[in-house]
Amino acid sequence: MKFPFLLAATFFIGAVTFFQPTPAQANLKLCNKTVSRIGVALGYKDTKGWASEGWWNLEANTCEVLLEGPLIARYYYIYAVDYDLGGSWGGKAYMCTRDKVFTIRANKGCTERGYQKTGYFEVDTGEEKDWTISLSGPQTSEAKAQ
């Protein structure tokens, strides 16, 4: 009589453990809320200094994780290009880019090193560990936490 009870109790405890919701993953994510395909470059400062990376290619109305894990900086920088309708999202924070896929360390001397000097817009995450940036309409940007 004890065996079926122990078996049922073991199954119940295992099921509860197995079906526990996992905590949300903290990331820096970008959502393309336009009708176009876009290319995205990201700038940030980490423990090794300044870096810029690109290109993430996002279809219309999709999202992509740009950095996995809890955010370590308050400010991140975005430059994006609308492949279908033209236009871009940028700003006054200058960092390096190039036409092909890139990871570039340091944000000074871009042209001297053979890169383009590009204006990124600043995203203030307020030191949150998880953040989603949404791009809509050409030449506009909005950033919001999730």
Mean pLDDT computed over every residue of the chain: 84
pLDDT in tens, 44-55: 999 999 999 999
Q: pLDDT at position 127, please?
A: 87
Q: pLDDT at position 12, please?
A: 39
User: Measuring CA to CA, which residue among 32, 15, 41 is closest to residue 97?
Assistant: 41
* Alpha helices (runs of H) in 19-105, residue ranges in sequence order: none
Enumerate the domain spans of the chain. Answer: 24-144
pTM of the model: 0.78
User: Measuring CA to CA, which residue among 136, 113, 125 is closest to residue 26?
Assistant: 125
The torsion defined by the Cα of 36, 24, 52 and 133, in degrees rounded to 10, comes to 40
> Does 1.10.10 match the CATH number of domain 24-144?
no
CA pseudo-torsion sign 64, 30, 68, 52 = positive
pLDDT in tens, 72-125: 999 999 999 999 999 999 999 999 999 999 999 999 999 999 999 999 999 999
